[in-house]
Amino acid sequence: MARHPRQNGGPAQPPDRLPAQPPDRPPAQPPDRPPAPARPRWRLGAAALALPAWLALGLFFLLPLVLMLGVSGSQRGVYGGLQPIPDLAAYLRSGAFLASYRQSLQGLYLGIAWRSLWMAALTTGVCLAIGFPAAYALALHAPRRRKGLLLGLVVVPLWSSFLIRTYAWMFILRTEGLLNHLLLGTGLISRPLPLLYTGGAVMAGLVYGELPFMILPLYAALERLDRSLLEAAADLGASRAAVLRRVTVPLALPGIAAGVVLVFIPSLGQFVVSDLLGGAHTMLLGNLIQNQFAVARNQPFGAALAFELTAAVLLLLAAGTHLARRASPGEAGGRPAGWELL
């Protein structure tokens, strides 16, 4: 993939075929067939090709977001719908459109947001801590012909049913589950431990679900790392730890940033894991939002929370991209590394 720098396709691409053309084109080309007319036709073609995606995403992705923004500024009606607003200007001036956002700053909800944040941070930290050595071993130690298989074995869980992978932990952790059964059998405990529906169960499920998202970009970064730099550092007398700290990690920083973003974001908006493994005790932001739409029928509040979550996600993404780009100024685009691994 290093052969084609275009792969990192940033927005500002140079007209990439230009350098190749001048040397052989002008003499060989008869003056009556200039390449120019092809361009405008292609440009139109590109717009037409992108049109269906624009229509679909515009109508069913952007428009819904705009509508939801409107809902987040409305107030809940008596029967669960939205209260009609007779005078929009007065409504805006009164600041009532911020009511749902103000509500989200109440202690109870701040607590849920805080729990979501630190659980996502902890998940990310654990994934990084156990994922980095594995990615390092895969990238630098694994035999070349085994790499494809080993990497595939990381990718497969990523795309296999998330629901079922979460359920597997229910099966293992519940009171009559496998783990308790084994522990009772060995005599380590005399009565089943309450393992399911705890914060620990949610953490186990979160790390389990997100770990491949960390390993893949780390692997991608470590794999393309120039080994001679590590050798040089070692030759110059750096200890193993010093090489790791001062050469390997800084060079892998784009992969680390990508992995952190790819793990943190889904963890922050998590819904299934906390619902199945945590129950009512470990409600996260995702559950709170779902609850407002499905159970509490307070759509304005749910919409406001959804936008706060979105804002947090976009901020994190911007920070991560910025970090990755600063770490590798040569690479344009800053697309999360590891995408090409699927």
Using CB under 8 A, which residues numbered 299 to 328 contact another protein?
A: 299, 302-303, 306-307, 309-310, 313-314, 317
The secondary structure of residue 336, as a DSSP letter, is P
**Ranges within 244-263 binding another protein (CB under 8 A):** none
Q: Which of 27, 34, 36, 41 binds another protein (CB under 8 A)?
A: 41
Of 41 and 191, the one with the shorter C-beta distance to another protein is 41
What does the alpha-carbon distance between residue 249 and residue 252 come to, in Å, rounded to a whole number?
5
Total residues at the site for another protein (CB under 8 A)? 121
C-alpha distances out from residue 187 to 177, 181, 184, 192, Å? 16, 10, 5, 11
Dihedral of the alpha carbons of 90, 95, 100, 105, in degrees to the nearest 10: -170
Minimum CB separation from another protein for residue 41, in Å? 6
- Reduced to 3 states (helix: H, G, I; strand: E, B; else coil), residue 76 is strand
Minimum CB separation from another protein for residue 177, in Å? 6
Query: Crossing angle of helices 199-223/162-173, nearest 10°?
Result: 130
Closest CA to 256 of 194, 175, 337, 150: 337
Q: Which of 104, 123, 124, 180 binds another protein (CB under 8 A)?
A: 180
Q: Which of 77, 80, 111, 148 binds another protein (CB under 8 A)?
A: 148
280 binds another protein (CB under 8 A): no
65 binds another protein (CB under 8 A): yes
Minimum CB separation from another protein for residue 190, in Å? 17
Token readout for 224 is 């393309």
Of 90 and 340, the one with the shorter C-beta distance to another protein is 340
Using an 8 Å Cβ cutoff, are 201 and 169 in contact? yes
191 binds another protein (CB under 8 A): no
Minimum CB separation from another protein for residue 170, in Å? 7
Of 145 and 191, the one with the shorter C-beta distance to another protein is 145
Q: Which of 237, 280, 295, 330 binds another protein (CB under 8 A)?
A: 237
Of 14 and 90, the one with the shorter C-beta distance to another protein is 14
Q: Which residues pair with 82 in a beta bridge?
A: 76
Of 94 and 268, the one with the shorter C-beta distance to another protein is 268
71 binds another protein (CB under 8 A): yes
**Ranges within 195-214 binding another protein (CB under 8 A):** 208, 211-212
189 binds another protein (CB under 8 A): no
**Ranges within 20-39 binding another protein (CB under 8 A):** 20, 38-39
Q: How many CB atoms lie within 10 A of CB 204?
A: 18
Q: Which stretch binds another protein (CB under 8 A): 42-50, 89-97, 99-107, 249-257?
A: 42-50
Residue 82 backbone phi and psi in degrees, to 5: -105, 145
What does the alpha-carbon distance between residue 150 and residue 215 come to, in Å, rounded to a whole number?
12
Of 220 and 327, the one with the shorter C-beta distance to another protein is 220
**Ranges within 77-136 binding another protein (CB under 8 A):** 130-131, 133-134, 136
68 binds another protein (CB under 8 A): yes
Which amino acid, 283? M
Q: Which residue has the tokens 């036709």?
A: 41
Counted residue by residue, the chain has a size of 342
Q: Which stretch binds another protein (CB under 8 A): 44-52, 84-92, 105-113, 249-257?
A: 44-52
Token readout for 296 is 């509490």
C-alpha distances out from residue 282 to 103, 119, 170, Å? 20, 10, 15
What does the alpha-carbon distance between residue 172 and residue 190 come to, in Å, rounded to a whole number?
18
Beta-carbon contacts of 226 under 8 Å, excluding residues fewer than 6 positions away, are 251
